[in-house]
Structure 1
C-alpha cells in the first residue's frame, strides 16, 4: 500500500469518526431539549389553538399516513424479495458520510443483491440531524421521499436527493428543490401532480417522525449504519464482498 493510499484511508477514518461524534452530540442535545420541553407542553398546546398550518400536522402517532407498501409503524422503504436476508440502511439526507457511502461499491452491491432477489433492502430515512443543523430539511426530504415512493420512484428520488446534497452542511433543501427532485426521478404527468400535492401538504411528515423514533429502539447511534440480518457492519472494513458474504451467511443460517 502506498503512503498516499494510507493517508487517504486515514483521512476517511478521521472524517467518519468526527461525523459519528457530531451525530452522538446531536442525539444528546435532542434528549436534553425533550426533557426541558416536557413542562411546557400545556403552554404550547394553549398557544397552538387556532393556528392553521400549511403543511401536515407531522404527528408521528400510529395513525399518521405511511407511503405505499410501508405496512408497519416506523418501518422503512423496502425493495427486494420477501423472505430473504434483510439489509437495513439507516441514513439521514443531510449526512455527508451517507452521500459518500451512496457512491461506494458497497452501496452498489446492496442494490444488486436486492435486484437479484437475494436480499431485501430497507432504507430508513432518519431526521435527527435537523436538531444539530438547526433546520427541518432531513424531515422534509424524508417526507418527500415518501411521496416519491407512492409514485413508484422511491429509489430514484432517494438518489436524486443525495446527488444534490448541498456542499455546505446545514444549507438544507428548499421546497422547490424537493419538488424538482421528483422531476429528476422521473415522476411525470398526473403522478407528478399528486406528488407535488403530497410534498406541499407534508403528507408524510408523520411517517418521517415515526422512522426517526425507531432509531433509538434499534440502537442506531449514527449514520450511515448498515445491518445485515440485524447485525451491524463495520463501515471501516465494509466492502462489496463483505456485504455479499454477510447476506450469503444469513441465508444459510
Structure 2
C-alpha cells in the first residue's frame, strides 16, 4: 500500500501527495490543516498521504527520501501527524538545503513528537525500513505525470490548483460535499472498505 490512510472506512477519499522537503508542500499543509481536520471530524472523508521525493530529483541529495521514511516509521507507531508537525517546523526555507537527510535531526524530531517509542522508531529510521515504499510512491507520482507537489486527488480525480492559488479551502470543502452526496446517491459505485482494511 502506497498511502498513509487516515479514517479509512468511508467512501470519499482525498489523496494528498506531499514532498516533505518542499516549501510548497509545507505552505499547503499549513493552509489546509484546519480544513482536513474538519473534514475528518465530519466522518465522511478519508485522507491518504503519499510522500514523494521530487525535490531530491530536482535538487539532488536524499532529504525527501530520508524524512518520508522517518514519517512512515512514525506512522507505524501512530504518531504520523505529530511527526509531520515537527518536520514542517524544522524544514529549511531553501529546498536546496538537504538538512532533512540527517538521521540525527530525524531522530530529534521523533523526540519532539512526544510519546514516540524510540526503541522502535530509531532502528526503523536508521534501517530505511520504508525507503521502498517511498520510492514506489514517487514512481507512481512521476508515472501520473506530476512534476511538483502538493497534488490533491478526490476519489482518484486530480483537483486543479492545489499547488497554486486557484484552489482554496472553501472550494475544496465544496468539492468534498459534492462527492459525499454523489457517494450517498450511488453507494454501489463507491464500496466501503472492510472493517479490517
Select the structure of larger CA radius of gyration.
1
Matched, 1:149 2:75: yes
Counterpart pick for 1:243 among 168, 172, 192: 172
Report Cα offsets for 1:136-159 as digits up to 9, x if no partner: 000011111111011110111122
Distance in structure 2 (CA, Å) of the matches to 1:133 and 1:219: 19
Report Cα offsets for 1:45-68 as digits up to 9, x if no partner: xxxxxxxxxxxxxxxxxxxxxxxx
Aligned residue pairs, count: 177
Stretches of 4+ aligned residues off by more than 3 angstroms: none
Matched, 1:134 2:63: no
Are 2:20 and 2:64, in contact at CA under 8 Å, matched by a contact in 1?
yes
Counterpart pick for 2:109 among 178, 181, 187: 181
Q: CA deviation at 1:133?
A: 1.4
Q: CA deviation at 1:81?
A: 4.2
- Match in the other structure for 2:152: 226
SS of structure 2 residue aligned to 1:87 = strand
TM-score for the superposition, normalised by structure 1: 0.66
- Match in the other structure for 1:121: 47
Q: CA deviation at 1:180?
A: 1.0
- Match in the other structure for 1:95: 22
SS of structure 1 residue aligned to 2:115 = coil
Report Cα offsets for 1:51-98 as digits up to 9, x if no partner: xxxxxxxxxxxxxxxxxxxxx2xx110102422311111111111111
TM-score for the superposition, normalised by structure 2: 0.83
Structure 1 gaps, min length 5? 1-71
